[in-house]
């Protein structure tokens, strides 16, 4: 039964806060965040003023990609706790009025998943191998990869498993079961070629074959398991990647293509039309559980008019707006992406979403301080050419957040942005864990700099991230920089002008003035020289929002200041500052 969408849908206006469990709060002193740690800190999120939490993966996993390599979709990794701990978290969140979104990773499993282990142990052509994308290699003995696809994390997207005689290949020899003897199984007398499996990400993340009915049934079961357990929705990882073009044709991306593949047309592994049938199917599964459960797509698809196909009325409810995230802090570009977003999503009856930071991006506090940010996934580190200006970055980040939180629709926050945390640039090489760093031999720093454990209490070991470790070191899985304690929540809470208080004021005023559900009406810019306007001005109900993206001070319209992202002059708005005025 198709469900109707009403204005009352909670997700249309929600502020959804992303928790990266490894780095949020550690309850047991092993230096890694966990579910009881999150539960213990939920009150702080209520005090912040958000509506929902999205938890990045906490499922059973060898943690080769921070848990985006799932070995059991219906259990909690012991690193993070137990299913009982999840139930406590869910109950506490719901009692506090917070929705709980979890992460679903359907494009690939971990290579430790029992299905992949069974596939390795089975013969080429077997039903077990059919769950994944095993193919014969090219060349006489299959010694070359089946096609030229590259992993998002660097290197070939294929790993070889079989020798040409059907025995385990170099990647798996020794620690894996031998495949069944090929004779008789494959039915052909001809010598077999070596087989390879596809992994668009790390070699520990084999891609499922989404034309396989058992794969479809597996994920229906996973959805139902968590829906029965009371989750309010799913953020769907790599929601543009599940279906591959038949025949898996070669593809060479443009030299300047971002790793996630957003703007490239006709990529045989991104945004294939077949994905939509999967989301229609899942939409029906969610509808069995009432009208309030949602699907959120992590789909790197451009243009926005195409991305809107993911949120047609019988598919997902929301999708991330990476076009918005990637827009520089420039008036004309921002106006265009806002208009394009409202038109594209509005055209299919979906809310626009807005986001500035997540666990895959350089934190916007740092990114907006860079003249030319590196492509997604590359990250920055000590040897990077890009050197951010911290003060400019934080000032722009707060101005950008004030602009974003005034826009109609749903907004995403990433843990720590409410503290003004910058990207950590000087992590030692030896501490880095992102497979991007490892697979490119350190050429790309990757995403660890946005994942450093949060500072809660300045005076405590690990800045209150967790209890002291038994060795007294207070060390966390990624080391916190010296200055981390100065960003701690307890030194910002209740302190006027702090970034935390700025976020709390913004979220409270957004709610009070219903900015998320009002209509946005652009007003003329207020620049002194209007030929190249640096200001963006719009009206939302009783509130006028002015963002000054340029360096020059401009005049502030008359009225009561409801929110300012930084200090104001007398009747004036300095550069890189946003204000909300009630007239």
Which residues are the active-site residues? 237, 288
Find the shortest distance in angstroms from Cβ 55 to Ca ion.
15
Q: Is 26 in the site for Ca ion (CB under 5 A)?
A: yes
287 Cβ neighbours under 8 A, 6+ residues apart: 1, 2, 3
158 Cβ neighbours under 8 A, 6+ residues apart: 135, 137, 145, 146, 147, 149, 196, 197, 198, 199
Reported as type and span, the H/E element at residue 77 is none
Find the shortest distance in angstroms from Cβ 204 to ligand GLC.
11
**From the list Ca ion, ligand GLC, none, partner contacted by residue 400 (C-beta under 5 to 8 A by kind):** none
Peptide bond into 491 cis (omega under 30): no
Find the shortest distance in angstroms from Cβ 357 to ligand GLC.
12
198 Cβ neighbours under 8 A, 6+ residues apart: 132, 133, 135, 146, 149, 157, 158, 206, 207, 244, 248
* Residue-level length of the chain: 583
Dist CA 298 CA 304 (whole Å):
13
Find the shortest distance in angstroms from Cβ 63 to Ca ion.
13
Residue in the structure block whose two tokens are 């073009």: 245
Find the shortest distance in angstroms from Cβ 252 to ligand GLC.
22
**From the list ligand GLC, Ca ion, none, partner contacted by residue 32 (C-beta under 5 to 8 A by kind):** Ca ion
Do the beta carbons of residue 109 and residue 215 sit within 8 Å?
Answer: no
Do the beta carbons of residue 340 and residue 323 sit within 8 Å?
Answer: yes
| Smaller CB separation from Ca ion, 269 or 477 | 477
Q: Which two tokens mark 567?
A: 């200090």
**From the list ligand GLC, Ca ion, none, partner contacted by residue 270 (C-beta under 5 to 8 A by kind):** none
| Smaller CB separation from ligand GLC, 403 or 414 | 414
Find the shortest distance in angstroms from Cβ 153 to ligand GLC.
8
**From the list ligand GLC, Ca ion, none, partner contacted by residue 26 (C-beta under 5 to 8 A by kind):** Ca ion
Residue 173 CB neighbour total at 10 angstroms: 12
Do the beta carbons of residue 541 and residue 522 sit within 8 Å?
Answer: no
Find the shortest distance in angstroms from Cβ 460 to Ca ion.
15
CB-based closest residue to ligand GLC: 68
Across 199-322, where does the E strand assignment appear? 233-236, 294-297, 318-319
Nearest to 527 by CA among 507, 502, 547: 547
CA 414 to chain centre: 9
Handedness of CA 302, 305, 309, 312 (dihedral sign): positive
| Smaller CB separation from Ca ion, 78 or 567 | 78
Do the beta carbons of residue 471 and residue 447 sit within 8 Å?
Answer: no
Residue 393 φ/ψ, nearest 5 degrees: -60, -45
Find the shortest distance in angstroms from Cβ 68 to ligand GLC.
3
Handedness of CA 369, 372, 376, 379 (dihedral sign): negative
CB-based closest residue to Ca ion: 34
| Smaller CB separation from Ca ion, 224 or 469 | 469
| Smaller CB separation from ligand GLC, 215 or 463 | 215
| Smaller CB separation from Ca ion, 79 or 556 | 79
Residues in contact with ligand GLC by CB under 6 A are 65, 68, 105, 201, 237-238, 298, 359-360
Map the footprint of Ca ion across residues 416-475, applying CB under 5 A: none
CA 340 to chain centre: 22
**From the list ligand GLC, Ca ion, none, partner contacted by residue 30 (C-beta under 5 to 8 A by kind):** Ca ion
Dist CA 444 CA 382 (whole Å):
11
Nearest to 567 by CA among 508, 515, 496, 500: 496
Size of the site for Ca ion (CB under 5 A): 5
**From the list ligand GLC, Ca ion, none, partner contacted by residue 28 (C-beta under 5 to 8 A by kind):** Ca ion
Dist CA 497 CA 513 (whole Å):
21
Map the footprint of Ca ion across residues 27-46, applying CB under 5 A: 28, 30, 32, 34
**From the list ligand GLC, Ca ion, none, partner contacted by residue 299 (C-beta under 5 to 8 A by kind):** none
| Smaller CB separation from ligand GLC, 65 or 448 | 65
| Smaller CB separation from Ca ion, 81 or 106 | 81
**From the list Ca ion, ligand GLC, none, partner contacted by residue 65 (C-beta under 5 to 8 A by kind):** ligand GLC
List contacts with Ca ion (CB under 5 A): 26, 28, 30, 32, 34
């Amino acid at each position: 039964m198709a469900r109707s969408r009403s204005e009352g849908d909670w997700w249309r206006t929600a502020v959804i806060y992303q928790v990266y469990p490894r780095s949020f709060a550690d309850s047991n002193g092993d230096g890694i965040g966990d579910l009881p740690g999150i539960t213990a800190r939920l009150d702080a999120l209520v005090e912040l003023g958000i509506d929902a939490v999205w938890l990045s993966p906490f499922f059973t996993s060898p943690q080769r990609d921070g848990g985006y390599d799932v070995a059991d979709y219906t259990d909690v990794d012991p690193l993070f706790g137990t299913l009982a701990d999840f139930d406590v978290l869910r109950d506490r969140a719901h009692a506090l009025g917070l929705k709980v979104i979890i992460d679903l990773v359907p494009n690939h499993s971990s290579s430790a998943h029992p299905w992949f282990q069974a596939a390795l142990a089975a013969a080429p052509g077997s039903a077990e191998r059919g769950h994944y994308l095993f193919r014969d290699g090219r060349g006489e003995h299959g010694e070359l990869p089946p096609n030229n696809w590259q992993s998002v994390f660097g290197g070939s997207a294929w790993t070889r498993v079989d020798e040409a005689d059907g025995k385990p290949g170099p990647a798996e020899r020794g620690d894996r079961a031998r495949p069944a003897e090929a004779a008789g199984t494959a039915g052909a007398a001809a010598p077999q070629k070596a087989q390879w499996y596809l992994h668009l990400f790390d070699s520990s993340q084999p891609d499922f074959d989404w034309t396989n009915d058992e794969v479809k049934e597996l994920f229906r079961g996973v959805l139902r398991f968590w829906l029965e357990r009371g989750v309010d929705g799913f953020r769907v990882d790599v929601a543009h990647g599940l279906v591959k073009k038949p025949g898996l044709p070669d593809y060479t991306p443009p030299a300047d293509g971002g790793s996630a593949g957003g703007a490239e047309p006709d990529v045989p592994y991104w945004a294939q039309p077949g994905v939509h049938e999967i989301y229609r199917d899942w939409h029906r599964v969610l509808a069995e559980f009432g009208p309030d459960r949602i699907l959120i797509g992590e789909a790197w698809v451009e243009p926005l008019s195409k991305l809107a196909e993911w949120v047609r009325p019988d598919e997902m409810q929301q999708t991330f707006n990476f076009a918005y995230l990637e827009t520089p802090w420039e008036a004309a570009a921002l106006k265009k992406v806002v208009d394009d977003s409202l038109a594209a999503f509005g055209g299919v009856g979906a809310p626009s979403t807005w986001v500035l930071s997540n666990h895959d991006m350089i934190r916007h506090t740092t990114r907006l301080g860079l003249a030319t940010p590196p492509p997604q996934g590359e990250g920055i580190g000590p040897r990077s050419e890009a050197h951010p200006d911290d003060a400019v970055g934080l000032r722009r980040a707060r101005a950008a957040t004030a602009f974003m939180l005034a826009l109609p629709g749903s907004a995403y926050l990433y843990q720590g942005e409410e503290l003004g945390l910058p990207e950590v640039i000087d992590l030692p090489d030896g501490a880095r864990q992102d497979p991007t760093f490892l697979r490119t031999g350190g050429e790309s720093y990757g995403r660890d700099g946005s994942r450093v454990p949060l500072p809660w209490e300045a005076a405590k070991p690990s800045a209150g991230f967790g209890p002291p470790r038994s060795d007294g070191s207070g060390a966390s899985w990624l080391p916190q920089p010296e200055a981390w304690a100065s960003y701690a929540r307890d030194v910002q809470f209740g302190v006027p002008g702090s970034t935390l208080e700025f976020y709390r004021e913004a979220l409270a005023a957004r709610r009070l003035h219903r900015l998320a559900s009002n209509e946005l009406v652009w007003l003329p810019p207020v620049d002194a020289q209007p030929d190249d306007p640096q200001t963006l001005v719009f009206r939302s109900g009783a509130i006028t929002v002015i963002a000054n993206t340029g360096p020059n001070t401009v005049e502030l319209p008359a009225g009561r200041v409801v929110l300012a992202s930084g200090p104001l002059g007398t009747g004036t708005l300095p550069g890189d500052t946003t204000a909300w005025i009630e007239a």
